[in-house]
Amino acid sequence: MNIYSKQNQFINRINTGITGLDKIIEGGLPEKSITLVSGPPGSGKSIFSFQFLYEGINKNETGLFLTLDKKVDGLIIQSKKLGFDFKSAIEDKSVKFRFLNINKKLIYEAMVNEILSGNFDRIVLDSITPLSEMPIYGNYSQNNESNISIINSEEYPPNTNLPIRRLHLHYIINALESTESTSIVTSELPMGSSLFSRDGISEFLADGVIILSFDPTMNRRKMSVMKMRNTKHTLKPQDIEIKEGGIQFI
Ligand SMILES: Nc1ncnc2c1ncn2[C@@H]1O[C@H](COP(=O)(O)OP(=O)(O)OP(=O)(O)O)[C@@H](O)[C@H]1O
Ligand SMILES: [Mg+2]
């Protein structure tokens, strides 16, 4: 779907696979945008990601799922239970699931290599939180970003220096931005957090921010679009449910 933006440019919209969401964001995510999907454990971030990639398969697009969770096989089983069967897409190489080992020194390089390894239409990074909390060191200088390297998180204490962490996240977002892909990056949030991401930075770097939340006492799940560049959208939390077929608006 082509939408004529205020900047007089056509913006292609990429369906998320969540029909209700597409309806409130002018038809879908802006093509080539990066959207942060944040929420507490169990709020549906991974299911959102599966649904987004599966929608791509239905449209004969290609996808890359980068996970920091060891159990890629488990993820594929989990997604199949929800009705997203990636088996044949994996076999014909239209979708690639890749595990990134957070304890490996060259994780950032490995991630960038994967991102640049194909012309993926859709990329998911689930989640950015361990990467954004990983220490970095090197001859840090704001003028020479290439001196930064990433080290084994077990050997060095966490880096709390905000400018360096910001630069680190810039690297990750820059890698996604350098592609033609439309990307989803998930971020873990503590229950009841008022932040949009645990690092407090990713939301500024991303083009869009979607918050998933729930109210256990009311047995309700919610989705809120807090930011979506070039898009007129409501900020009102929308009632959602998770069932076979994934996330659906009520
Ligand atoms: N078949 C299903 N039917 C209904 N609800 C389901 C089904 N499968 C999963 N869920 C719900 O979805 C939740 C898991 O969602 P998901 O794995 O996407 O969460 P997440 O935000 O990625 O969590 P984490 O931060 O732990 O990775 C489960 O806790 C459960 O409440
Ligand atoms: Mg998850």
Q: Is 74 contained in some domain? A: yes
pLDDT higher than 70, residue 155: no
Q: Is 244 contained in some domain? A: yes
Q: Is 204 contained in some domain? A: yes
Domain that holds residue 58: 2-101+121-128+171-249
Residue 124 Cα to ligand 1 middle (Å):
17
Ligand 1 binding pocket includes 198 (Cβ within 6 Å)? no
Q: Is 94 contained in some domain? A: yes
Lowest mean pLDDT among 31-45, 63-77, 128-142: 128-142
CB 28 within 8 A of CB 52: no
Which residue minimizes the CA distance to atom 29 of ligand 1? 42
Pocket probe for ligand 1: among 18, 45, 214, the residue whose CB has the most ligand atoms within 8 Å is 45
Q: Which residue matches tokens 């996240």?
A: 169
Which residues are CB-contacts of 9 (< 8 A; sequence separation ≥ 6)?
Answer: none
pLDDT (mean) for 216-235: 96
> What does the mean pLDDT of the chain come to?
85
Residue 46 Cα to ligand 2 middle (Å):
4
Residue 72, judged by CB atoms within 10 A of its CB (0-12, 13-18, 19+), counts as middle
Ligand 1 binding pocket includes 216 (Cβ within 6 Å)? no
Q: Is 34 contained in some domain? A: yes
Q: Is 110 contained in some domain? A: no
Looking at the structure of the chain, the number of domains it has is: 1
Residue 210, judged by CB atoms within 10 A of its CB (0-12, 13-18, 19+), counts as buried
pLDDT (mean) for 195-215: 90
pTM here is 0.88
Ligand 1 binding pocket includes 114 (Cβ within 6 Å)? no
- Long-range CB pairs of 241-247, under 8 A, 24+ apart, other chains included: 242/44, 242/47, 244/81, 244/82, 244/83, 245/82, 245/83, 246/17, 246/18, 246/47, 246/48, 246/50, 246/51, 246/54, 246/82, 246/83, 246/84, 247/18, 247/21, 247/44, 247/47, 247/48, 247/51, 247/223
CATH of the domain at 24: 3.40.50.300
Pocket probe for ligand 1: among 38, 47, 250, the residue whose CB has the most ligand atoms within 8 Å is 47
pLDDT band at 169 (very low <50, low <70, confident <90, very high): confident
Which residue minimizes the CA distance to atom 18 of ligand 1? 44
Q: Is 243 contained in some domain? A: yes
Residue 83 Cα to ligand 2 middle (Å):
17
The predicted pLDDT at position 138 comes to 44
The predicted pLDDT at position 106 comes to 79
Q: Is 18 contained in some domain? A: yes
Residue 243 Cα to ligand 1 middle (Å):
9
The predicted pLDDT at position 244 comes to 96
